[in-house]
Amino acid sequence: MGNSQITIPEAQNMVDKWIKTVGVRYFNELTNMAILTEEVGELARIVARKYGDQSFKKSDEKYNLADEMADILWVLICLANQTGVDLEKAFIQNIEKKNSRDKNRHQNNSKLKR
């Protein structure tokens, strides 16, 4: 792979192919939801220590910010695949929703102005 780029549909296909060959089958949706929550917790641990007030422990050295984000993306893609969600379409619709619903919301938020 190297520095190559992939599209969201390509990522969904790559995960599906891996799961159905190397991974044997998808974990059920509830298991994947629990795993997703666990992975988000691992990301939160790194962020709390790197950007927050907590200090790193020796046991935190094994965690890698980018790898934890990739783990989250992997499990999210698994959930999308097994529930029939086209993530590219969903993301585009989400951006459109944000552009219409939140068009002026953040611009008018005095808390965001410095």
Tens of pLDDT along 35-64?
999 999 999 999 999 899 888 877 777 778
- Per the structure, the count of domains in the chain is 1
| Domain membership flag for residue 107 | no
Question: pTM, whole model, 2 decimals?
Answer: 0.84
| Domain membership flag for residue 31 | yes
Question: What pLDDT was estimated at residue 102?
Answer: 78
Q: What angle do CA 52, 76, 38 make, to 5 degrees?
A: 45
Which amino acid, 16? D
Residue 18 dihedral angles phi and psi, to the nearest 5°: -65, -45
Question: What pLDDT was estimated at residue 62?
Answer: 76
> Any idea what the CATH number is for the domain that residue 36 is in?
1.10.287.1080
Question: What pLDDT was estimated at residue 1?
Answer: 56
Closest C-alpha to 60, from 74, 42, 81? 42
CA distance 100 to 42: 33
Number of H helices, E strands in the chain: 4, 0
pLDDT averaged per 10 residues in sequence order, the chain, 114 residues: 86 98 96 98 92 82 89 98 98 93 78 78
| Domain membership flag for residue 39 | yes
